[in-house]
Amino acid sequence: MKALTCIKPGVFEYTTSKRPPLAKGMAVIKIRRIGICGTDLHAYEGTQPYFSYPRILGHELSGELIDAGGAPGFFPGEKVTLIPYFECGDCIACRMGKPNCCAQMKVFGVHIDGGMMEYISVPSAALVHGEGLDFDELALVEPLAIGAHGVHRANVTNGEFVLVTGAGPIGLGAMEFARIAGGRVIALDINPLRLLFCKEKLGVEYTVNALDSDVFEQLQEITNGDMATVVIDATGSLKAIHSAFRYLAHGGRYVLIGLQKGDISFSHPEFHKREATLMSSRNATREDFGQVIRCLTARDINPATYITHRVSFDQVKDEFENWLKPEYGVIKAIVELPPADLLIS
């Protein structure tokens, strides 16, 4: 079978290997769709924290189940996705019911080789039923679950202003679930095309360009002087993270979904007088995956909105670098692979 490996920043190489063997406790999936994530792009750039090379990328996946590895209730041939965060089950986080931030976490396509290949073998406990969704929709479940988890962490309530900084796929997902929770969403980004997308495609109520000289004043006007009671960062930009502390209301909550390599600093007196809450949001839980699937099934979220670029697996090496360029207007690029019966191992 064929795989695509990121040998080092900026360099991809196709390789071949045998299909994974059948084994108890390990599910084998024929990959049909791969969503390209910000993590993949950052890994290609060489800016992704906790990353080493060479690495097979890819963790936004859907496919045909070949063998369930003994997982009850799953059957060969069904459409599935997977939770690509492989927890240890024993650490303090796992014992507290927070496997998404396991102390020994192995994220598929980040800490270990991922899904940019024709067949994968993953722990059968990671399987998620397709629930009637198609392969495109199932490949969107994981990135949407990241946004859903951040909104859950923020405990968004009906009618409050939610400022989401960063209108990439993760930020867009956070906007969707903040809206579903009843929040009044404000999108903040430096890309006017992304902001237009937020307004026209997602129906986001307010958009602000972060490059404007009067961002603070615009937010004051939108929020009637209160500022946002919830701020969610989905940029992973140190400058954006620092700037957004100013946009937080008294008593507000600031959730960091985005990840970057540097240290965060802020004014303690300003933060203290707000009695603000700062928290991170890592990965997602099975409950978040379930919420996303229910929302997609109910069409509370339109999956077709997100997919702007589509290529075959053989085209990824040549196209990948283009997806980093703002002028390409990528929201979500999807890689297509053929069904199992058309492949030769």
**DSSP, residue by residue, 81-133:** EE--EE--SSSHHHHTT-GGG-TT-EEBTTTB--S-BSEEEEEGGGEEE-TT-
**Which backbone phi and psi does 40 adopt, to 5 degrees?**
-60, -45
Tell me phi and psi for residue 163, to 5 degrees: -95, 120
Q: Are the CB atoms for 310 and 334 separated by under 8 Å?
A: yes
- Give the separation between CA 182 and CA 344, rounded to whole angstroms: 49
Please name the residue that has the structure tokens 């992973």.
Answer: 236
| Model pLDDT, residue 49 | 78
Determine the Cα–Cα distance for residues 111 and 85; give it in Å rounded to an integer: 10
* Residue among 270, 268, 274 nearest 249 (CA): 274
Q: Give the up-direction half-sphere exposure of residue 63: CA atoms within 13 A in the CB hemisphere.
A: 33
Strand pairing report for 206-209 and 161-165: unpaired
pLDDT given for residue 327 in this prediction: 86
Residues 6+ apart with CB under 8 A from 209: 188, 189, 190, 192, 195, 215
To the question of pTM greater than 0.85 for the whole model, the response is: yes
Sequential DSSP letters for 197-218 = HHHHHS--SEEEETTSTTHHHH
Residue 50 confidence (pLDDT)? 73
Domains and CATH numbers, the chain: 2-130+306-342 (3.90.180.10), 146-280 (3.40.50.720)
Rounded to a whole number of angstroms, the distance between the first and last alpha carbons of the chain is 5
pLDDT at 47: 82
Instruction: Give CA angle at 227 (226, 233), nearest 5°.
Output: 160
Q: What is the pLDDT along the chain (345 residues), one digit of tens a residue?
A: 999 999 999 999 999 989 999 999 999 999 999 999 988 998 999 888 778 999 999 999 999 999 999 999 999 999 999 999 999 999 999 999 999 999 999 999 999 999 999 999 999 999 999 999 999 999 999 999 999 999 999 999 999 999 999 999 999 999 999 999 999 999 999 999 999 999 999 999 999 999 999 999 999 999 999 999 999 999 989 999 999 999 999 999 999 999 888 899 999 999 999 999 999 999 999 999 999 999 999 999 999 899 999 999 999 999 999 999 988 889 999 999 999 865 444
**Can you tell me which residue has the tokens 């071949």?**
16
Q: What is the pLDDT of residue 344?
A: 41
Please state the φ and ψ torsions of residue 285, each to the nearest 5 degrees.
-105, 170
| The dihedral sign for the CA sequence 74, 80, 85, 86 | positive
Amino acid 312: pLDDT: 97
Tokens of 96: 């507290």
Backbone φ, ψ for residue 309 (5° rounding):
-140, 145
